[in-house]
Structure 1
């Protein structure tokens, strides 16, 4: 089969008959167009896939940022809790330390309200990680917990250093008054017979303070036959003191009293002729002459 093409020109009609190769041209053009279209489609698909991948990567990055933000907030909350606990423990330690310093007159050596002086040469070190910082803070809290236990023990030990001084019996059981009857044989003021007076009487004004001649534990605080209102204090090492004929008693059994503390008011209860304090010192349960305790110097 052949194709004839008529072309109208100025010189008339020209007849042109293309060869077989011209018939293949449309097919080639169609194939080329299809190829270009396929290429464009694949390129578009690849771009779309790349855009989806980038979008997914951004989502992953955003999630990582959110996770990091939450983790940081959690670590900061943990850090804040540690700091708050340390502040609370430090406040307690400072209060206890200040109390010990004031009690034992060490304010000139220990100022718990001022920063501790530290310093010295230092090399540049590695940066501190948050986890390591929290570990260091945990260790510090443990040290403070230990110190919180040790400080009361230290106060107890320091107090014990003063026990011997506190329970050292010396001085008179009154602030004002006079010795009205010594230890030893005397004429009984009620029957006139020669009897043993096992204490020392200090006379004074009714209601005057009666004070402990040493620190100790109250083992009697009430009425006792012959003594009237009596206070008895155990000072340890087998020593006790008694304070009789009181008007009123200001302590109770089991109370711990300090040297010089007011324990009663002078009176004339029991077997008594007037306001005074009958003062006894007992060793091993037996009355002894209190004179050497009354007139010896205080233990400083």
Structure 2
């Protein structure tokens, strides 16, 4: 293809020879330029019409904007409904947690009225009506406050229950010699050596020499010595003026000042001191006054039964 361009002013002519490839390239380039010009012109006209409010263009812009706003509002509304439903479920769970906290506080010996958490907040969110962002924000703030207060309450309850557990561990309720038959009990009896009536201030547990003696409760060893009457003797202070005494031991495994825990092996059964046979003489003293150790051990048996029943129940629930 040959294109001839004639210049009237210069009285000259110029010829261009275009083959097939150059012709296609020229058409594509012209099309691209035309498209760019058209797009720019359309954008300029559309923007100018939108700003100045031309009748047709202004209506089209408002229609498009209205559709976008409607879609955005619908999306926001759907998300608010989902969030409101989740908040309602959270409120229901929070009420259950508060009810549980009140029951547990009673077990811990705490007055629930003193730790009431955010009373009068109402129930779950009401479904079936539109909720505003402000309402959701207020509900979230209420839940946050309730969660903080519940955490404080649970901390107090945990502390109280832990304190009670420690106190129970410090009361001598565990039998010091396992699988041993009870010999002489607490009270008045005929002394086996003098033959006269005398007060027996503890319990005797006959057992072979070397049989382990276990701490009836946790505490501190305050006495570890050889006594003319009690032989190798241990005294453990459990606090609150409560002391246990272990006498006639053949061997002692702890020293004065040691901290021991419940069920720890502290000595072995023996026949030392004023004794007519191998046994453990076990005493419980409150403010220095001998008490019947059997009352404490019976209380320990009751606790053991409760623990066994609760453990069986938990196994059945599983």
TM-score category, normalised to shorter length: 0.3 to 0.5
Q: What TM-score do the two structures reach when normalised by structure 1?
A: 0.46
Q: What TM-score do the two structures reach when normalised by structure 2?
A: 0.43
